[in-house]
């Protein structure tokens, strides 16, 4: 199978390229090599890499011609700095996806694996003893400012329990990045219906591992902590550190992309399916910071009580669907993955 990986020189994309190549597929890469992810140009990946932006119809048209499947990893990621980033997020993520899908339609490339994100859910799964399953709204600034971080029942104000969110949960994006990732899914679904294509969106949870970008506002929390330790500083943990996430290793994410791609040969025309990609082993952000600092041998984390609007409190995933339908399960355990990541080289950014 001839596969195009957009963003294939990046943190996740480069692992996806390696995974497809090791499985015997013919892989090509289109990457804009933006300075937010690349301080210097990466290795040529054995001639696979073409420099080009997914917003450029000419570059995309040339890259798509002759491929059997597109694995779309190119995106602007993270919460960003402020709302001034909104046009860049929409352009990179949504316009770029639209340009790509239009080229795929012209060249009759009928299979797509899309890098999605758990941010489309907003808050995770919550239940109230009196009202059952509930969807708390965005947390209020006044509550966060006084250290009241846990969402409350929107009907009675009581404490909530939390659980694993599945793919059928309603979408509720809470920031610009989340809104663009949901829009990507809608575009992919529309493309599949219009062209008879087959599309899968993989909703990544908190991906970490070797090659994460360092010292950038667009990286994930794991990179923030690891960058601080590299500088000899204590990782700064926002809120009270008890917010729960699912940290999934980048090699497991790459394996999920391969499983999704190979499954598309067996799906019907005009189909679109989403899957959570997570370890199934939730941890608090504080636990992750402690484990990383201990493995690195650096300063212990400092819980700051600070917060960011747009962050959610708890988001952990059910992986039942991807296990049963694609046969994928995470292979890298939390302890082993964190020990490796604590000593791994980070990616320099501009």
Active site residues: 177
> How far apart are the C-alpha atoms of 74 and 17, rounded to whole Å?
13
The tally of CA atoms less than 13 A away on the side-chain side of residue 7 is 23
Token digits for 242?
A: 């008890």
Query: How many CB atoms neighbour CB 48 within 10 A?
Result: 18
DSSP 134-168: E---PPPHHHHHTT--S---TTT----EEEEE-TT
Query: Taking Cα atoms as reference points, which of 133, 196, 142, 200 lies closest to residue 170?
Result: 133
Number of residues that this document lists for the chain: 350
Q: Which of 77, 168, 161, 172 is nearest to 121 (CA)?
A: 172
Count other C-beta atoms under 10 Å from residue 41's C-beta.
Answer: 11
What are 213's two structure tokens?
Answer: 């970008």
Q: Tokens standing for 6? A: 């957009």
Kind and range of the H or E run holding 200: strand 198-204
SS3 of residue 259 by DSSP: helix
Return the DSSP state at 240. Answer: T
Write out the two tokens for 193: 């219906």
Residues 6 or more apart in contact with residue 226 via CB below 8 angstroms? 212, 214, 292, 296, 341, 342, 346
Q: How far apart are CA 267 and CA 264, in angstroms?
A: 5
Instruction: Give Cβ neighbours of residue 350 (< 8 Å, ≥ 6 apart).
Output: 35, 36, 38, 39
């Amino acid at each position: 199978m001839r596969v195009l990986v957009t963003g294939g020189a990046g943190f996740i994309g480069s692992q996806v390229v390696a995974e497809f190549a090791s499985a015997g597929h013919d892989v090509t890469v289109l990457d804009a090599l933006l300075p937010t992810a690349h301080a210097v140009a990466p290795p040529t990946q054995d001639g696979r890499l073409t420099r080009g932006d997914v917003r450029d119809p000419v570059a995309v048209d040339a890259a798509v011609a002759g491929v059997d499947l597109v694995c779309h990893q190119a995106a602007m990621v993270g919460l960003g700095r402020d709302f001034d980033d909104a046009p860049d997020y929409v352009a990179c993520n949504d316009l770029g996806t639209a340009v790509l899908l239009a080229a795929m339609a012209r060249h009759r490339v009928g299979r797509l694996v899309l890098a999605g994100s758990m941010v489309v859910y907003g808050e995770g799964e919550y239940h109230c003893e009196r009202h059952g399953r509930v969807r708390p709204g965005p947390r209020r600034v006044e509550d966060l400012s006084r250290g009241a971080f846990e969402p409350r029942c929107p009907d009675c104000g009581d404490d909530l329990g939390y659980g694993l969110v599945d793919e059928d949960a309603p979408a509720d994006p809470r920031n610009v990045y989340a809104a663009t990732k949901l829009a990507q899914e809608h575009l992919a679904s529309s493309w599949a219906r219009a062209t008879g294509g087959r599309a899968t969106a993989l909703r990544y949870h908190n991906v970490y591992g070797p090659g994460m970008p360092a010292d950038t506002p667009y990286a994930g929390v794991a990179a923030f902590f690891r960058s601080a330790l590299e500088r000899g500083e204590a990782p700064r943990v926002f809120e009270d550190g008890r917010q729960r996430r699912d940290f999934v290793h980048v090699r497991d994410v790459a394996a999920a992309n391969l499983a999704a791609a190979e499954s598309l040969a067996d799906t019907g025309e005009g189909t679109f399916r989403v899957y959570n990609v997570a370890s199934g082993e939730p941890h608090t952000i504080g636990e992750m910071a402690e484990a990383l600092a201990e493995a690195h041998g650096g300063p212990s984390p400092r819980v700051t009580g600070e917060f960011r609007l747009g962050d959610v409190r708890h988001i952990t995933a059910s992986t039942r669907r991807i296990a049963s339908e694609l046969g994928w399960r995470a292979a890298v355990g939390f302890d082993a993955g964190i020990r490796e990541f604590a000593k791994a080289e980070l990616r320099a950014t501009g």
